[in-house]
Amino acid sequence: MSTSGTPRSGGQRPAGGSAAKGAAPRGPQQRTSSQGARQGSPRSQGPRPTGNGPARPQRPAQRPTQQGLVRPAPKAKVRKARLLVSKVDPWSVLKMAFLLSVALGIVTVVGAVVLWTVMDLTGIFDQVNDLLAQVLGSEGGSFTVQQLISLGQVASFATIIAVVNVVLLTALSMLAAVLYNISSTLVGGIGVTLTDD
């Protein structure tokens, strides 16, 4: 006799059905509680240490600057430039040489007058006159150095020398500039090194 035809009572449920209902998906409350438990776990909080060693405290990104310390300014490099004087303007050389020669002529005239005055004040001319009187004797008469070399004669002679020097120095400077320009085309000129102090 088979018992398959007997009806099952409503209160009895198959074991598989109860197991299936027990494994039913969880509700929203159970999900939120499980998520809260995960979030509240101490493992999820804080940065995870890297490596096998113990966790190290994080250092600040920038160290606080020390106030009151001033860094010295870096020393600038000395710049050098090598240049060649390949040409000289003859007209500028002429003007400069004329000006310097005129200044030298003025110094010559003033120096000659001052020198004669100092020799006269110190008595050098008197000593020379006494020496000439002893050497020449009575034949020399009343000859003095002041008659031969007077202040006017010294000034005029110095002026003539100054004028000649102005002309000669100006002409020679002009000629030297022209010769330098000609020779610089062959050898390249004079080298000059310039530096920054």
In this structure, what token pair is assigned to residue 124? 């050098």
- Cα-Cα-Cα-Cα dihedral sign, residues 32, 34, 35, 39: positive
Span 185-194, average pLDDT:
87
pLDDT in tens, 163-174: 999 999 999 999
Span 40-51, average pLDDT:
50
pLDDT at 68: 63
pLDDT at 23: 46
User: What does the CA dihedral 168, 173, 175, 181 come to, rounded to 10 degrees?
Assistant: 180
The most confident of 24-33, 87-96, 184-193, by mean pLDDT:
87-96
Crossing angle for the helix pair 124-136 and 90-121, nearest 10 degrees? 70
Cα-based distances in Å from 161 to 26, 116, 119, 139, 155: 129, 16, 21, 34, 10
pLDDT at 131: 83
pLDDT at 194 over 50: yes
Q: What is the pTM of this model?
A: 0.54
Query: Which helix H or strand E contains 190, and what residues bound it?
Result: strand 190-195
